[in-house]
Amino acid sequence: MSSSHPLRSGEHLLLHASFKEWLMLLNYSAGTIQVLPGHVQEFLYHQEGAGKAQISQITAEDAEVFLQGLQAKKGPRTGRPYSKGHINKYVQALGLLSRHLRESGQAQVGFALDWHPPDARKPVWLTLDEVNRLWEATGDTVLGARDRAMLAVYYGCGLRLSEGAALELKDVWLDRSLVHVRKGKRYKERLVPLAAENRKSLEHYIQQARPELLQAHRTEALFIGANQGLPMQTQSLYVRIRQLAAKARIKKKVGTHTLRHSIATHLLHNGMKLERIKEFLGHSSLDSTQRYTHLVNERR
């Protein structure tokens, strides 16, 4: 339970727990089960702040007032109002809460809440099928081995374009299945875990394919271009991912950041805690990470 919105009412504590169990019984995704109870907890915390500690005191107007308060707030990091997608997750949570209250016989309150049309711009992400098609598009060549290593870094590790371009051989710790990001955003360092398949792809590239691409040149850069054995720069890395997407016949606009959005969404969908995803991506604030919550079962 979130320490920033601690509940004191015994009724609210039981309701929060039963709501989460109810979502599990209805087979909602792990990401939804992680996120929505937290939103309900915020609502109940708001109720207690208004002197309403009993379930019988919940009214439809309370939900409206709570949402109006959210719309008036600004994200602590961005200084901008919350996105419509972010607000919609609260609309979904409160709508399901009122349904749970009715079905469990705890109350007969119903919330008629407005769904906000989503923002025009939101992160583009790939399905697991599309990610698999990217891997298949790499081919069984020296360049294909390098491209799989790129996917291991940009999808498997969720690195930013510049972070991947700055990687050197010493940053890939195969013996510990970690990637050391030394040049992260705002000069922050972090260690990113390597899943088994990603580690295998990087190991094959480093030990077999990279020496062939390197030719007579000497550089510690991880990624080597197809010609002259020179390090790949950010633009060439970005273009190569675009080329793989075209080869895989993916119609979405795909770049390295698309892969970052994709792994974040998939991790959330599989139940990884937001705090862990925040550390994985190198975000300085949960505000940035929470943008992915509305991509998981946006409206079930």
CB 45 within 8 A of CB 284: no
Angle of helix 60-72 relative to helix 84-103, nearest 10 degrees? 160
Helix axes 234-247, 142-151, angle to 10 degrees: 100
Q: Percentages helix, strand, coil for the chain, rounded to the nearest 5?
A: 60, 5, 35
Q: Specify whether the CB–CB gap between 141 and 209 falls below 8 A.
A: no
What is the rounded (10 degree) CA torsion for 263, 264, 268, 270? 10
Question: Would strands 190-193 and 178-181 be described as parallel, antiparallel, or unpaired?
Answer: antiparallel
Enzyme catalytic residues: 160, 185, 257, 260, 283, 292
What is the secondary structure of 130-150 as a DSSP string?
Answer: HHHHHHHTT-SSHHHHHHHHH
